[in-house]
Structure 1
Amino acid sequence: MTGSFRHLRPVLAFFLLERRGALLGGALLAAVTVLAGVALLGLSGWFITATAIAGLSSATALAFDVFAPSAGIRLLALGRTASRYGERLVTHDATLRLLAGLRERLFRGWAGPGAARLLLLRPARLLFRLTADIDALDSLYLRVLVPMAAALVTAFVVVLTLVPLHPALGLGAGAWLLLAGIGLPVLGALLASNPARRRAHANEALRARAIDLVAGQTDLVMAGRLQAQGAAIAAADLRQAASDDALNRIETGIGIGFGLASALLLSGTLLAVAALAEAGLIGTPVAALGVLIALAALEPFAALRRGALELGRTLLAARRIGPRLAPAETAPTVVRPAEPLLAVRLSRVAVRHDGAGLPALAELSLSLRLGEVVAVVGPSGAGKSTLLSLIAGEIAPDQGHVEALPATLLTQRTELFQDSLRDNLRLADPAADDGRLLAALASAGLRGDVEALPEGLDARLGENALGLSGGQARRLTLARLILRDTPLWLLDEPTEGLDGATARDVMARLTACGEGRCVVIATHVRREAQAADRIVVMERGHVVSVARRGEAAFKAALAALRPD
């Protein structure tokens, strides 16, 4: 667990960078609140005791000043209420703003080169971890840092208050506060580390398996795995319940420990002030003040109990999130070509995917010009999709140099969201008005279908583009591509899964809308390569030939492709 604390450094650095003033202000208000409560209890005890003693004779009763202590009690009570309100307001506002900034930083990080591709491999698991881990970090400030600051300040003030009574009493109380007040939460954190992590993993498994049961119920029934899936969900639930039970037992034990520690501190203080009072070194009211301060001294440390139990989960979240909080590289991996009509230039580029034995691209050099359509062909695994991702800037080269104009990549998957048609289109251009949206839909051949809907552009798509056919979904992504309006289009098998007529219409519209741009199409299909001015043939990450339209090699490359 000790090694895991290093993962907190980037998180704490982010906290201080984003909201340093609010965080320190919240901790200060928390300390003021606790101190006001301790002072209120001590002063009230002193006042009640002094008033009772003063009332034993008329002379002392008349001479006793009740106004100053009662005013102090009222001031402390009002101050405690105000500081408590301010502390809650400042700390929760700072936490919510921090988490919002953290979400933005991390989501931007997942949109960076390479990260988005990793996210696509396990989207549900990674997104759940991302949201759950961010939520877990709120306890780091609210339940660990703020109570710790308040507790340490309280211990310091308690020592300063008790030392004038007797130095040994003050120093002994301070040592006990640090030993028990810090030791018990640390012990709780160590004991709860494994159960907290097990609970987090069980919660992830429970959620994932429940989603699989709901989303894949038909497949599970067909495979005869429905009962097994239910058993897996029950097993994850049992693991989570066992972890909760272990955490509850640890919390109860730590609570008992704080109760015993507080009783020992109170007993020791009571014996000490009784001896001092008997020796005539302090009066009875002062003795009552000392006892009541000792009674409340451990309360701020007890507030650390909840944060200590959640520290294992917090450290797990920090370990996952921390590496992605590192400052992003400022130097772009893709630069604009120096030559005016050049769209892409690759110079001896090499790319190797993580864990791969062979490079996806090796010593690849290629130049593409504006206004030409280029088809990139080759067997599966030749590196076509990697080439498009490299040009788009989604992955960085391991060696070599990449120059490319701003590009839009249309992948094989149709990425549409459960939202309105208008908002799905505005992902490409948030400032586009309805006129531009309808014009793009018209260019994609989908305007008539949209205008026939009762809600028009406000029509909402279901999950996985429910409500649209495969051809309509592809046309919608084509409209989004048109709205993007970049000089370089990168299309990865743009008509895959469409029927012949729809596919030919989509290709015709792509060719017409791509006039004047550089259009690169990675394909296995003849109909997609027929529109090309050049065909680039790839094998095992190398360009083995480049053929222009009209050449025999061009016709041979077309003939080798899968027919429509």
Structure 2
Amino acid sequence: MKPKHSTPAPAARSTQSQWQALKLLFQALSANRLQGMLLGMALACATVVMGALLLGISGWFITSTAIAGLIATSAISFDVFTPSASIRLLALGRTASRYGERVTTHSAALNALVDLRERVFRALASRPAGQAPEQWHLQPARMLLRLTRDLNAAEALYLRLLVPSCSALLSTALISLWLAFHHVWLGLAVFVWFMAWGVGIVWWLVRATTAVALAQSRHAEQMRQQALDIAGGQAELVMAGQLPAWQARLNAKQAQVADLEVALQRRDAMAAAAWQTLHSLSMAAAVLLAAWLVLNGQMGVANAAFFILMAMAGMEPFAAMRRGAMEWAHTFLAARRLQAPLSSTQTTNAIALPEPAPGLAAQLRGVSVSSRRKELRIANCSFDIARGETVAIVGASGSGKSSLLALMAGELAASEGQVRSSASVALPQQSALFNDTVRANVNLQQLPLSDADIWSALEAAGLRDVIAARPLGLDERLGEGGLGLSKGQARRLSLARMFLANQQFWLLDEPTDGLDADTAGDVLERLAYTLTGKTAVIATHMQREAALAQRLLVIEAGRITQQVVQGTPEFDKVLAKLRDG
């Protein structure tokens, strides 16, 4: 008979996958910050140990002083300097280690989150494992959630779980070892007792809150999405008479989230009550145990005071673990959600394209691009772009114009065929402006430019007078997404950014789309002047933009169906079919 190979049960495979997700998250957090994180954990342990010793030695010193004072000879010979110096040293050391621990652990965690956020952003912006980028582009709210809430929850894996657990284990071990010198079995019993109830409460809290916290997170995400839908479509909902119904659904979802929050807080209160009860029982047991050791001559009274106060201090780290237990579900959910992007090896770096033949800026030969539905976005396209030439790719929306620009920019990989292209600079359809100064928005590449260079670019784009009229000029801060500028002004600022790029090959995607006729005319006039001597490819469906070109490429459903040259009747026919402004 052939031996039967056992396969893991589904539950076992699920548990293994969960731990792999947590392991991957910790590896990502500690990839570049492991030394700082280990130093922070060491300082946290030192803080706990010095705090316990400070309390224990203080109790020992007070008790010893009181006993020595009962006998005159003992009072005279009693050394008060060594313990008092130790107390001062421990107090200073604990303060320094506490400050150092807070600075080191939080610095390591925040820097780790910066690295992690960039890594996740790059993965989501390219292609998460098993998913096409279009899925994430259609769900910006989910992407934002991954970059904010999930990454902030990942911080708890280190600050709320690993650091307190290490401190609790070390303090319990040291107290147990010290007691073992007096009585081995009592030392072992104390260690088992502390770990049993300290870890037991944390384990119960994790088990009791995980399902509730996961449900709360799921409902909170749905509530957030409903609120965004209502805020974005309020006018349409009012027109349709559906706003009250949508608000009722949102209120019901808020009530669900609130009920789950109450359930979580109730479990936390139960854990706090259990911890306080066992803390009191442990203190009573420590007093009884110390008294028994004193009565049996196995421990002095001063050492008994030392032990009782050390036991009190040793329980404190377990209280910090309770907060980590409350955040465990969110940390686990974050690890599970981030597993795909963290496992991705994709990058957002542009594809390195080979140089075209001499005299050309770009060459495409038999190029095809497939969508995630296996449909062809670009189908067997072949054409050349000569240096110094302005070419317009014209076609309806969705025909593949932007995809061709992305291929030449190296932002999109061809499924078939070959793309050769010189280095280029692109103007996308939407002007990407940031909540920063005008200077920083124009000089996005952070080139070593003077203010005169930036003013010159703004002059060329027709925006100098607008910015000069602002109180702070180049230091004027734009709002989120470029708020404070009109759409035409934002487009001009993007053009000024291109003027500073010092590239000879320009890729322009609908450069005047959405602008009024006067603004578009001025922008195109400045653009035509600036393109002199440069190579440009313009993706457009408008006459006013296509008129700048010496050659038109007509694209339909991803295929180049016609190429016409300026000065021919065919060129005029194609131009006449395009939308006028």
Q: TM-score range by the shorter chain?
A: 0.7 to 0.9
User: Helix, strand or coil for the counterpart of 2:381?
Assistant: strand
| Correspondence for 2:203 | 186
Contact 2:126 2:347 in 1 (8 A): no
| Correspondence for 2:355 | 337
Evaluate the alpha carbon distance shift between residue 547 and residue 63 of structure 1 in structure 2; reply closer, same or farther with a 3 A threshold.
same
Task: Give the aligned residue type for 2:513.
Answer: E
Structure 1 gaps, min length 5: none
Of 248, 259, 276, 1:259 maps to: 276
Give, in whole Å, the separation in 2 of the partners of 1:269 and 1:455. Answer: 68
User: Helix, strand or coil for the counterpart of 2:560?
Assistant: strand
CA deviation map 1:143-199 (0-9, x unaligned): 222111111211221221111122111112222223322232232223222333444
| Correspondence for 1:92 | 106
| Correspondence for 1:7 | 21
Contact 2:356 2:422 in 1 (8 A): no
| Correspondence for 2:57 | 43
Give how far 1:31 is off.
Answer: 0.8
| Correspondence for 1:150 | 167
Task: Give the aligned residue type for 1:352.
Answer: S
2:398 is the counterpart of 1:375: no
Give, in whole Å, the separation in 1 of the partners of 2:85 and 2:485. Answer: 73
Give how far 1:216 is off.
Answer: 5.7
| Correspondence for 1:196 | 213
Evaluate the alpha carbon distance shift between residue 330 and residue 555 of structure 1 in structure 2; reply closer, same or farther with a 3 A threshold.
closer
| Correspondence for 1:161 | 178
User: Helix, strand or coil for the counterpart of 2:32?
Assistant: helix
Give how far 1:502 is off.
Answer: 4.1
Evaluate the alpha carbon distance shift between residue 223 and residue 413 of structure 1 in structure 2; reply closer, same or farther with a 3 A threshold.
farther
User: Helix, strand or coil for the counterpart of 2:182?
Assistant: coil
Give, in whole Å, the separation in 1 of the partners of 2:50 and 2:481. Answer: 57
Give how far 1:305 is off.
Answer: 0.8
2:365 is the counterpart of 1:351: no
Task: Give the aligned residue type for 1:18.
Answer: N
Evaluate the alpha carbon distance shift between residue 187 and residue 532 of structure 1 in structure 2; reply closer, same or farther with a 3 A threshold.
same
Give, in whole Å, the separation in 2 of the partners of 1:484 and 1:232. Answer: 50
| Correspondence for 1:308 | 325
Give, in whole Å, the separation in 1 of the partners of 2:577 and 2:564. Answer: 13
Identity level (%): 43
2:523 is the counterpart of 1:506: yes
Give, in whole Å, the separation in 2 of the partners of 1:302 and 1:87. Answer: 18
Contact 1:334 1:403 in 2 (8 A): no
Give, in whole Å, the separation in 1 of the partners of 2:364 and 2:127. Answer: 17
Give, in whole Å, the separation in 1 of the partners of 2:357 and 2:500. Answer: 26
Give, in whole Å, the separation in 1 of the partners of 2:382 and 2:219. Answer: 49
Task: Give the aligned residue type for 1:367.
Answer: D
Give how far 1:235 is off.
Answer: 3.7
Give how far 1:301 is off.
Answer: 1.8
Contact 1:408 1:484 in 2 (8 A): yes
Give, in whole Å, the separation in 1 of the partners of 2:250 and 2:567. Answer: 61
CA deviation map 1:391-450 (0-9, x unaligned): 223333344443322222222223334555444322266544343333333333444555
**Which aligned pairs between 1:318-337 and structure 2 lie closer than 5 A?**
318-321=335-338, 323-325=340-342, 329=347, 333-337=351-355
User: Helix, strand or coil for the counterpart of 1:303?
Assistant: helix
2:537 is the counterpart of 1:523: no
Give, in whole Å, the separation in 1 of the partners of 2:88 and 2:459. Answer: 73
TM-score by length of structure 2 reads: 0.84
2:496 is the counterpart of 1:479: yes
Evaluate the alpha carbon distance shift between residue 215 and residue 432 of structure 1 in structure 2; reply closer, same or farther with a 3 A threshold.
farther
Give, in whole Å, the separation in 1 of the partners of 2:298 and 2:408. Answer: 84
Contact 1:334 1:391 in 2 (8 A): no
Task: Give the aligned residue type for 2:298.
Answer: L
Give how far 1:343 is off.
Answer: 1.7
**Which aligned pairs between 1:116-515 and structure 2 lie closer than 5 A?**
121-123=138-140, 125-204=142-221, 218=235, 220-228=237-245, 230-321=247-338, 323-325=340-342, 329=347, 333-354=351-372, 356-427=373-444, 430-451=447-468, 457=474, 461=478, 468-515=485-532
Which is further off, 282-291 or 481-490? 282-291
Evaluate the alpha carbon distance shift between residue 449 and residue 79 of structure 1 in structure 2; reply closer, same or farther with a 3 A threshold.
closer
| Correspondence for 2:40 | 26
Give, in whole Å, the separation in 2 of the partners of 1:562 and 1:207. Answer: 40
Give how far 1:504 is off.
Answer: 4.1
Give how far 1:334 is off.
Answer: 2.9
Contact 1:429 1:484 in 2 (8 A): no
Root mean square deviation of aligned Cα: 3.5
Evaluate the alpha carbon distance shift between residue 539 and residue 211 of structure 1 in structure 2; reply closer, same or farther with a 3 A threshold.
closer
Give, in whole Å, the separation in 2 of the partners of 1:458 and 1:63. Answer: 73
Contact 2:351 2:411 in 1 (8 A): no
Give how far 1:304 is off.
Answer: 0.8
Contact 2:435 2:478 in 1 (8 A): yes
Which is further off, 313-322 or 110-119? 110-119
Contact 2:122 2:348 in 1 (8 A): no
Give how far 1:93 is off.
Answer: 2.9
User: Helix, strand or coil for the counterpart of 1:535?
Assistant: strand
Which is further off, 483-492 or 64-73? 64-73
CA deviation map 1:205-224 (0-9, x unaligned): 55555566666655554444
Give, in whole Å, the separation in 2 of the partners of 1:6 and 1:445. Answer: 56
User: Helix, strand or coil for the counterpart of 1:427?
Assistant: coil
User: Helix, strand or coil for the counterpart of 2:181?
Assistant: coil
Evaluate the alpha carbon distance shift between residue 423 and residue 73 of structure 1 in structure 2; reply closer, same or farther with a 3 A threshold.
closer
Give how far 1:513 is off.
Answer: 1.5
Task: Give the aligned residue type for 1:34.
Answer: V
Give, in whole Å, the separation in 1 of the partners of 2:376 and 2:203. Answer: 48
Structure 2 gaps, min length 5: 1-13
Which is further off, 492-501 or 368-377? 492-501
Evaluate the alpha carbon distance shift between residue 169 and residue 231 of structure 1 in structure 2; reply closer, same or farther with a 3 A threshold.
same
Give, in whole Å, the separation in 1 of the partners of 2:493 and 2:507. Answer: 16
Which is further off, 430-439 or 292-301? 430-439
Give how far 1:465 is off.
Answer: 5.1
Give, in whole Å, the separation in 2 of the partners of 1:24 and 1:169. Answer: 32
User: Helix, strand or coil for the counterpart of 1:515?
Assistant: coil
Evaluate the alpha carbon distance shift between residue 513 and residue 289 of structure 1 in structure 2; reply closer, same or farther with a 3 A threshold.
same
| Correspondence for 1:68 | 82
Give, in whole Å, the separation in 1 of the partners of 2:197 and 2:113. Answer: 32
Which is further off, 218-227 or 529-538? 218-227
Contact 1:125 1:208 in 2 (8 A): no
Which is further off, 190-199 or 450-459? 450-459
CA deviation map 1:362-386 (0-9, x unaligned): 4434332221122222333322222
Evaluate the alpha carbon distance shift between residue 352 and residue 273 of structure 1 in structure 2; reply closer, same or farther with a 3 A threshold.
same
Give, in whole Å, the separation in 1 of the partners of 2:477 and 2:310. Answer: 63
Give, in whole Å, the separation in 1 of the partners of 2:92 and 2:232. Answer: 55
Give how far 1:61 is off.
Answer: 4.7
Contact 1:139 1:307 in 2 (8 A): yes
Give, in whole Å, the separation in 1 of the partners of 2:465 and 2:305. Answer: 86
Evaluate the alpha carbon distance shift between residue 215 and residue 543 of structure 1 in structure 2; reply closer, same or farther with a 3 A threshold.
closer
